[in-house]
Amino acid sequence: VIRVAAVGDIHVDRDLAGRLRASLSRIGDEADVLLLAGDLTRHGTPDEARVVAEEVRDLPVPVVAVLGNHDHHSDAGEDVARILVDDAGVHVLEGTSVTLELPGGRLGVAGAKGFGGGFLGRSGSEFGEPEMKAFARHGRETADRLGEALRSVDAPTVVALTHYSPVDDTLVGEPQEIWAFLGNYLLAEHIDAAGAALAVHGHAHAGREKGLTAGGVRVRNVAQPVLRRPYGVYCLAAADDSGAVGVTDAAALARAPAAAGPHH
């Protein structure tokens, strides 16, 4: 079993310094890897990125992240990513993937920020004014980058990590009028094509945790205000030769004996 902890939308700044770190005190006992689903900062400044790096530095598990819209607000997304990499060794993904050798097996994580665009029957198109075309194009391009990352992973068990949602199931609770700004079905199409074991996203603070792609991949909205706990832990059965995997949620994990073995 591979235990994947995930949380997003932590929106850290100096005001909240130390809080995330405190909430991660048991991460080494509860999980094998920590995924951060974007919106790690409030304004996307290098200073806030340094606070995030202090929060997640030297954890007993590897940390994998994508950036969110807040992390781009100061037009310094590349700086934010570099600080997380250099100061804390976080794997920051955008159209890229990382393969981790974990006690429960080899796990691939493919990540991209994602974007809005909408869902089946209610999605935008690259048509009309340049601004509308640019909006739709950005959604398609970041989804395509996720697809490339998913195809590049060499691991039997693969998780897709985004900030925006691949499905609308997990947006229920948000006003339906803004769903097209909260996610894009093209992400789910790539996730299904790759046969991912799990898709994790954030961004929709008023949505709900659990959803499903059309292809049957479990989706989890791990935005901190949705979880109302430090992080979710999702247990993936190690893939067999056919690539089949199962997902067990954290409640079941609590009843299961903790996996033995060293943590990274």
Answer yes or no whether residue 225 interacts with another protein by CB under 8 A.
Answer: yes
Answer yes or no whether residue 263 interacts with another protein by CB under 8 A.
Answer: no
Is residue 136 within 8 Å of 62, Cβ to Cβ?
no
Answer yes or no whether residue 14 interacts with another protein by CB under 8 A.
Answer: no
Answer yes or no whether residue 172 interacts with another protein by CB under 8 A.
Answer: no
Is residue 10 within 8 Å of 227, Cβ to Cβ?
no
| Window of 14-22, 51-59, 90-98, 236-244 that interacts with another protein by CB under 8 A | 14-22
Could you tell me which of 90, 112, 111, 96 has the C-alpha nearest to residue 33? Answer: 90
User: DSSP state, 66?
Assistant: E
> If binding means CB under 8 A, how many residues of this protein chain bind another protein?
14
Query: What's the token pair of residue 151?
Result: 């195809």
The C-alpha atoms of residue 32 and residue 74 are separated, in whole angstroms, by: 33
Query: Phi and psi for 44 in degrees, rounded to 5?
Result: 70, 35
User: DSSP state, 246?
Assistant: -
Q: How far is the CB of 170 from another protein (least distance, A)?
A: 15
Query: Phi and psi for 172 in degrees, rounded to 5?
Result: -60, 125
Query: Phi and psi for 215 in degrees, rounded to 5?
Result: -90, 5
Answer yes or no whether residue 113 interacts with another protein by CB under 8 A.
Answer: no
| Window of 53-61, 124-132, 136-144, 221-229 that interacts with another protein by CB under 8 A | 221-229
Could you tell me which of 225, 90, 98 has the C-alpha nearest to residue 160? Answer: 98
| Window of 15-23, 25-33, 160-168, 212-220 that interacts with another protein by CB under 8 A | 15-23
Answer yes or no whether residue 70 interacts with another protein by CB under 8 A.
Answer: yes
Burial class (CB in 10 A: 0-12, 13-18, 19+), 17: middle
Q: How far is the CB of 112 from another protein (least distance, A)?
A: 21
Answer yes or no whether residue 228 interacts with another protein by CB under 8 A.
Answer: yes
Closer Cβ to another protein, 39 or 169, answer by number: 39
User: DSSP state, 260?
Assistant: P
Q: How far is the CB of 15 from another protein (least distance, A)?
A: 6
Q: How far is the CB of 175 from another protein (least distance, A)?
A: 9
Answer yes or no whether residue 122 interacts with another protein by CB under 8 A.
Answer: no
Contacts (CB under 8 A) with another protein, residues 71-90: 73
Q: Which residues bind another protein (CB under 8 A)?
A: 11, 15-16, 19, 22, 42-43, 70, 73, 205-206, 224-225, 228
